[in-house]
Amino acid sequence: MSAPNYMPQPGDILVLTVVSPLYRNIYKSEVLTNDKNNLIISMPVSEGKLALISVGTPIEVTCTRNGYTFSSEVTDRSFTPNARLTICLPIQYSSNDNKGPSVLAITSGKGGVGKTTFTINLAISMAQTGKRVFIIDADLGTANVDILLNLQPKFNLNHVVNREKELLDIIVHGPGGIFVVPGGSGLQNLANMEQWQFNRLLTGLQSLEQYADIILIDTGAGLSKNVINFALSANKIIILTTPEPHAITDAYAIMKVLDEQRDKPSPYLVLNRVESAKEYDAVSEKILHVVDRFLDLKIQPLGYILEDPAVPKSNRKLEPFMLHYPDAPASRCINAIGAKLLSPEKEALSIPTGYNFFNKIKELFSR
């Protein structure tokens, strides 16, 4: 039977097994509506009692009509106009109706500025608008997207390169409806791979085209060839820094490298851990002044994230602050940045004519 015939339909009865010690029963629910990303289901019931399953809870779902079983996660819970949950569909059922995914690389001149935390929470913010968002963990030295999300992926890109797994087999569901492509050491020696390994990796990544709306690349810090090539392969780049002088110096170093490229990008600038909007204005103005004076690069200020105790608190618990502290100052800042990127008026993430992420990777890493 082909995959579309397995798609749960409105009216189908689902049997839910909740992967949590808080919910020990087997629950039943009815599919209310579906779309390319999610199922809206009635609040699960067991023995006549509603189970108010919380957002972020993993579940195993079986459709009684055809016996199809898949893993999912509760991404939203609502009680109006009726009690219902939103759960995400398996990746195989999602399709990207656009010309291709927008690809955004998040980079920095140094480590320790909060790049991975920013990437994760920006992904969640975008996913909350209905976008299908993937993170590729390309921080080769200290790949830690899975660690900060408390995930334990069994496979990574290394298994794809070595023909042990297909890309869809290694993708991990993250909290908030995002998807993570674990990097592991699969990208460590990308420029030195055998041709067949490189082609295998590229073919795997290319399969994301039909599923992703947005791909976020969490690059490594510094100025290595891998970092620069991943940044240049994206159709938009975010340079993240903090107000500390040494962090700004390192961010400027990566700006200089980008300025030397034949096709100069126009990176965004985001300041993390600022004390106030006033500090952001003052620091970003100084950075833009230096760039305008010494470089031909056009830097676009995108926003800031306020210093917020919710951030380290969430990181210690391995929980994204966007989900657990949605009204915190840092969460509001992330939402503001996400809204600017997704703004239809500015079309910040529109895809340039002739742009193809996967062809760009092949071109850059084959030099």
Cis geometry, peptide bond prior to residue 81 (ω within 30 degrees of 0) = yes
pLDDT at residue 351 in the model: 63
Q: At what angle do helices 115-127 and 329-342 cross, to 10 degrees?
A: 60
**Cross-strand pairs, 53:** none
Map tokens 């791909």 to a residue: 215
In this structure, are residues 103 and 131 in contact, taking their beta carbons and an 8 Å threshold?
A: no
pLDDT one-digit tens code per residue, 184-213: 655 556 656 677 777 777 777 887 888 889
Cα separation, 85 vs 43, whole angstroms: 6
Going by the DSSP 8-state scheme, the letter that residue 82 receives in this structure is S
pLDDT at residue 259 in the model: 95
pLDDT one-digit tens code per residue, 265-286: 899 999 999 999 999 999 999 9
**Among 96, 363, 113, residue whose Cα is nearest residue 230:** 363
In the chain, which residues fall in CATH 2.30.110.10?
Answer: 3-93
* CA distances for 329 relative to 123, 224, 275, 305, angstroms: 17, 34, 11, 8
Per-residue pLDDT of the chain (367 residues; tens, 9 = 90+): 334 457 788 999 999 998 777 777 789 999 999 876 788 999 998 888 888 888 878 888 999 988 888 888 888 888 888 899 998 887 766 655 556 789 999 999 878 899 999 999 999 999 999 898 999 988 655 668 888 998 888 888 888 888 888 888 889 888 988 999 987 655 556 656 677 777 777 777 887 888 889 999 998 777 887 788 888 989 899 999 999 999 999 999 999 999 999 888 899 999 999 999 999 999 999 999 999 999 999 999 999 999 999 999 999 999 999 999 999 999 999 999 999 999 865 556 666 656 677 778 777 776 5
Going by the DSSP 8-state scheme, the letter that residue 160 receives in this structure is H
Residue 275: burial class (beta carbons within 10 Å; 0-12, 13-18, 19+): exposed
Distance, CA of 81 to chain centre? 31
The C-alpha angle 243, 264, 259, rounded to 5 degrees, equals: 50
Cα separation, 30 vs 82, whole angstroms: 13
| CATH class of the domain comprising 3-93 | mainly beta
| Tokens read off for 74 | 């509760």
Cα separation, 129 vs 339, whole angstroms: 9
In this structure, are residues 225 and 191 in contact, taking their beta carbons and an 8 Å threshold?
A: yes
pLDDT at residue 328 in the model: 97
**Among 287, 239, 277, 258, residue whose Cα is nearest residue 119:** 239
List, as one string, the DSSP characters of 1-62. --HHHHS--TT-EEEEEESSTT--SEEEEEEEEE-SSEEEEEPPEETTEE--PPTT-EEEEE
Cα separation, 271 vs 51, whole angstroms: 42
pLDDT at residue 66 in the model: 87
In the chain, which residues fall in CATH 3.40.50.300?
Answer: 102-365
| The architecture CATH gives domain 102-365 | 3-Layer(aba) Sandwich (3.40)
Cα separation, 241 vs 308, whole angstroms: 16
* Helix ranges, the chain (H): 3-6, 115-127, 145-148, 157-161, 167-170, 195-206, 225-233, 245-259, 277-294, 310-317, 321-324, 329-342, 357-365
pLDDT one-digit tens code per residue, 72-129: 888 888 888 889 999 888 776 665 555 678 999 999 987 889 999 999 999 999 999 9
